[in-house]
Amino acid sequence: MSEADLTIHVCTACRRVRADLPEGYDQPGLALAEALAERLIAKGSAIPVLPVECLAVCKRPCTVAFAADGKWTYLIGDLETETHLDEIVGAAEAYAASANGIVAWKERPPSFRKGVVARVPPLPARQQG
């Protein structure tokens, strides 16, 4: 599993409603990116996790994008560090192992079935397999 198999982009701009905070929101993406990177490193994975300033989804924090050269790109929202870290890692491993980025429905964790924001096919010139 390497950058060639998958790069994970994590949006750090999205605001999550938090009535208990003075500002009324927090921005949980950076903490998710850090926790996800740590978890992958602990597993010996070389999948890179890149914080991104804005994926322009905005209303579904945290949002992440799975992308790789020659594969479909998937955008997934509504992810939380506290509850979904294991599912994100599992989904990442399945995506990285896939030929084209499309993981069978039954192999997708619940948060990845519900959270799809969009997907984009690979460029024709760079399609694999």
Please report, as residue ranges, which positions from 47 to 66 form the binding site for its own copies (by CB under 8 A): 48, 50, 52, 54-57, 63, 65
Smallest gap from Cβ 107 to its own copies, in A, equals 17
46 forms part of the interface with its own copies (CB under 8 A)? no
CB of 21 to its own copies, least distance (A): 26
**DSSP sequence for the chain:** --TTT-EEEEES-PPEE-TTSTTSEE-THHHHHHHHHHHHHHTT----EEEES--S--SSSS-EEEE-TTS-EEEE-S--HHHHHHHHHHHHHHHHHSSSSPPPGGGS-HHHHH-EEEEEPPPGGG---
Size of the site for its own copies (CB under 8 A): 28
Interface pick for its own copies out of 31, 35, 85, 116 (rule CB under 8 A): 116
Does residue number 68 form part of the binding site for its own copies (CB under 8 A)?
yes
